[in-house]
Structure 1
Amino acid sequence: TVLERLLENISFEATDRSGSTLVIDADYVDEHLDALVKDEDLSRYIL
């Protein structure tokens, strides 16, 4: 899903970021989902 794609790096690096804060804002979303948004077939990311 879209949310899984957005959070996959965060989940993978979670143990390294223990105690830190991560802000997910529009810039973060644009940076991490840019390729996904350009894909015209978004149906595979929708449950």
Structure 2
Amino acid sequence: TENIGARRLHTVMEKLVEEVSFEAPDVAPQQIIITAKYVQERLKHIVKNVDLSRFIL
């Protein structure tokens, strides 16, 4: 497996939740569910044709 490193992981996670983080104060106390479809849509420009299952522990 590829070692993506902590900084790269932080960048990916930040990109994933930036919209949710920005809008969270306006939707509280609602529950926000991050689906696989949401992840794919938000990260489509970062990962192209990468098997993300390799990075799941």
TM-score normalised per structure 2: 0.60
Larger of the two Rg values belongs to structure: 2
Of Structure 1 and Structure 2, the greater helix share is in 1
Q: State the distance in 2 between where 1:23 and 1:15 align.
A: 15
TM-score normalised per structure 1: 0.70
Note the aligned Cα RMSD (angstroms). 0.9
Return 5+ residue gaps in structure 2 as ranges. 1-10, 49-57
Would you say how many aligned residue pairs link Structure 1 and Structure 2? 38
Give aligned-pair identity as a percent. 47
Return 5+ residue gaps in structure 1 as ranges. 39-47
Higher relative contact order (CA 8 A, sep 6+): 1
Runs of 4+ in structure 1 over 6 Å off: none
